[in-house]
Amino acid sequence: MTRSRDQVPDLFTTPEGPQNAVEGPLAERMRPREFADFVGQDEIVGSDCPLRKAIEADRLSSVIFWGPPGSGKTTLAHLIARHTKAQFIHFSAVTSGVPELRMIIKAAEQRRASNGQRTMLFVDEIHRFNKAQQDAFLPHVERGTIILVGATTENPSFEIISPLLSRSLVVVLKPLTEEALGQILNRALTDAEQGLDKWKARFLPDARQRLIAFGNGDARALLTSLEFVVTQTPAGPDGTRVIDAAWLESALGKKALRYDKAGEEHYNVISAYIKSLRDSDANGALYWLARMLDAGEDPKFIARRMVIFASEDIGNADPMALLVATSVAQAVQFVGLPEAQINLAQGTTYLASRPKDNASYIGLLEALKDAKTHGNLAVPLHLRNAVTSLMRDLGYGADYRYVHDDPRARTEQIHLPAPLKDRRYYRPRPPE
């Protein structure tokens, strides 16, 4: 059963009245209050999805919402608060600590003992707690004293302790698609009570698309930008505010794409770049290169990855690839940005277009495995240098065949330890 608004705890209540609705930020005013208005995450909260059914039936267990900014994590917490009979408490990892948590736990225990009411604890930015602080949640989640609802922008695998993860459902929210952002934009422009309908704003198609791209999957960023642009646009004679691409760009300036050079997105984008190179897709590789450059990635980092790729994925299928990659790395050092982007683009398209063969790398991995598995196998006597008379007496160098005197030695002479004499590590692909 859905709770009425006046039953929702103070965390998520919004004071009634048009004055407060007008003064609040657009992103907060337009926050969905029902699942019908929550767009862009149908895979997890569609009408037939287990998570939505659990929320609507008030049977939610501990859950971690993981997703980028503006993807709907806090909005889901709002919806949970509106559908639960549990006491819903907000706990911010930025402003609160373990002492406050102890007070909440004590109250939760008393509440449960007196009337059986559950306590649902929403921990925003839970990744801000270190591992020791996260341990403080564990016994209370395990006993059912609290139902934990966590929100994080960071990968829980790295930022949340394993015992807490094993007791929680991890729900992944994706960046909102352009279609979803378009729906949010339309709703904000036409909503007469909470939105911008009274401003009579009209976006020309190119400006609308650019604003959606500006949002970059983040509904909060989209709505914040939308409110600023609309309120700063002069009205025409008929009261309509017409917004074109030029005015939009002058109002907002340039916005960097979502890309944290110290976080997961850094690794996601470079992974997409390398896989595009490996699949010989020059277009994909150029796009991910552009993403990294636009976000301010260190060009030396990209060049280093190109040098590695040249040997790992192209190898002897085209030995020139390594020369090109190292030349690009030198050019990046010598030229610097912005012109070094041209060198990176040339290297990217060359590496993407060359034949691929990872036989050298695979051979090394197999040889390393044997080296670790079999330990220090003895070097065959005929391959050892006899630098003393004792060594010659022990057979060092005996029967060694000098390839310049005996060309057959190239193929017939054994160069591996006896237990590995039949190993074939290097298996190059035949030329196409």
DSSP β-bridge partners for residue 89: 121
DSSP 338: T
285 close to 273: Cβ distance less than 8 angstroms: yes
Q: What are 328-344's pLDDT values in tens digits?
A: 999 998 888 889 999 99
- What is the pLDDT, as a whole number, of residue 17? 34
pLDDT at residue 259 above 60?
no
Give 14 or 333, the one with higher predicted confidence. 333
Q: What are 81-95's pLDDT values in tens digits?
A: 888 888 888 887 777
Alpha helices by DSSP H, listed for 336-388, are: 340-353, 359-374
Domains of the chain (ranges plus CATH)?
A: 5-172 (3.40.50.300), 178-252 (1.10.8.60), 264-353 (1.20.272.10), 367-420 (no CATH)
Q: How high is the mean pLDDT of the chain?
A: 85
Residues 105, 140: Cα–Cα separation, whole Å = 8
Q: What are 116-153's pLDDT values in tens digits?
A: 888 999 998 888 888 888 888 888 888 888 899 999 98
Query: How far, in whole angstroms, is CA 5 from its chain's centroid?
Result: 35
CA-to-CA dists, residue 187 to 106, 233, 338, angstroms: 43, 19, 40
pLDDT at residue 24 above 90?
no
Do strands 201-203 and 241-243 pair parallel, antiparallel, or not at all (unpaired)?
parallel
- What is the pLDDT, as a whole number, of residue 294? 84
Alpha helices by DSSP H, listed for 279-382, are: 282-294, 299-309, 320-335, 340-353, 359-374
pTM above 0.75, yes or no: no
Give the 3-state DSSP-derived string for 401-422, with helices as H, strands as E and coil as C: CCCCCCCCHHHHCCCCCHHHCC
The residue-averaged pLDDT of 199-222 equals 89
- What is the pLDDT, as a whole number, of residue 12? 43
- What is the pLDDT, as a whole number, of residue 260? 56
